Structure 1
Amino acid sequence: MIIQFDKAKWNQDSEGFWLSLRVKAPALAKEFVSGIQDRIYDAELKQHREKRSLDANSYCWVLCQKIAEAVRNITKEEVYQDAIKHSGQFESLVLKNDAVETFIHRWSGHGLGWFAEKIEGNMPGYTQVIAYYGSSVYDTKEMSVLLDYVVNLAKGLGIETATPEQLASMKEEYEIAQTNKSL
């Protein structure tokens, strides 16, 4: 269960230390507390980020197709992977040489945007690998960066793109949908 909050405080009494949260969805909090049993629970606290808009993702693919058609010797999938490589999220890893091929194969099994490449290094017995994440796990900010990159590629090829206002609307759509869900 994920419960959003915007303020927090703590206090101490004879039972221990307490963390109090001002929640955005009181009904969810009440449901959780009413179902609590005498067990240990885990809570992960992190800054909230909206997931990316499906419309922004769809538009990204439309532009990848238009770019591929304009260039003619590249597929929309290759355009997408190029965009991920140049503007997307990644991890830099150091792996034992005998684990590299298995890691790359398994990493790429997550989806089209999930790929990895070897980087030459100088550590005997080890290889540096850059592992790129597909946009399916991007939040709104990360998807915005990717979409801006693809839009700039399209503009550079003379492809008509959505207006800045339309792009902003696509990027904000998910946030609005989430807000409406919690009402």
Structure 2
Amino acid sequence: MPHVFTGKLKEPIIDYLTGNLTILFEPSEDFRHAYEELKDCDKLRLEIKKYRRKRSLDANAYYWVLITKLAKVIGLSNPETHNMVLWRYGQPEIFEGKGVYMTIPDTEGADRKVRNATDYHLQPTSQVRAGKDGIIYRTYRLLRGSHTYNTEEMARLIDGLITLCKDAGISDSEIATPDERRILKERYGVEIG
């Protein structure tokens, strides 16, 4: 099982004779157990990326409360509303630096299935083409599920959802209680009203 630590990179040490670089990392968590387990390994794989705080379950719960309110006002199901919000404010799935696209028959049935999907999220594009089989296909972009979003991505999603709620005529008081407003401001930088 991989070990994951947060911390700070320190100035690297460069051996000027060999040109080899030693990376210094100061972990915030206790590293001793991982060190004992890995110290005799000849080769390790290290992944370093910018730390982003994971979004809280509070944000997810709040998001779904707003989705339910918006869905009721605009007359769509919760999955349809969720997908609509993801199309506007969601994050694409990226593999090896590239977005993921797929083609699906351009039919009402396929469109309805995509709009109501809960296991995957596809954003329709304007690209339509005829297949060799004579069927018209539309290209869709694969989006990440919101459960994978970090704090910054979730803030953008909630901020967009709040805009849609306001556009649909949902009042600020229905969008968030004073306590929810404070939490949204403190944790996500999202302001209402």
Task: Report the equivalent of 2:65.
Answer: 62
Contact 1:93 1:128 in 2 (8 A): no
More helix by share: 1
Distance 1:143 1:8 in 2: 30
Structure 1: any 5+ residue segments left out of the alignment? 173-183
TM-score normalised over the length of structure 2 = 0.68
Task: Report the equivalent of 1:19.
Answer: 23
Aligned counterpart in structure 2 of residue 47 of structure 1, from 38, 50, 60: 50
Inter-CA distance 80–113: structure 2 relative to 1 (3 Å threshold): farther
How far apart are residue 128 of structure 1 and its match? Answer: 4.9
Distance 2:21 2:73 in 1: 62
Provide Cα deviations, 1:77-121, integer angstroms capped at 9, x if missing partner.
1111111000010144456xxxx45xx9xxx8xx72732245416
Q: How many residues align structurally? A: 158
Task: Report the equivalent of 1:143.
Answer: 154
How far apart are residue 40 of structure 1 and its match? Answer: 1.7
Distance 2:66 2:4 in 1: 34
> One-letter code of the match for 2:185?
A
Inter-CA distance 50–130: structure 2 relative to 1 (3 Å threshold): same
Provide Cα deviations, 1:112-163, integer angstroms capped at 9, x if missing partner.
27322454168x9998541111101100000000011111222232242124
Distance 2:88 2:77 in 1: 17
Task: Report the equivalent of 2:170.
Answer: 158
- CA-atom RMSD, angstroms? 3.1
Q: Aligned pair 1:114/2:120, yes or no?
A: yes
Task: Report the equivalent of 1:133.
Answer: 144
Contact 2:8 2:27 in 1 (8 A): yes
Task: Report the equivalent of 1:78.
Answer: 80
Percent identity (aligned): 22
Structure 2: any 5+ residue segments left out of the alignment? 94-98, 105-109
Inter-CA distance 7–169: structure 2 relative to 1 (3 Å threshold): same
> One-letter code of the match for 2:122?
A
Inter-CA distance 80–127: structure 2 relative to 1 (3 Å threshold): closer
Matches within 5 A, 1:80-95: 80-91=82-93, 92-93=99-100
Distance 1:117 1:152 in 2: 20
Distance 2:67 2:101 in 1: 31
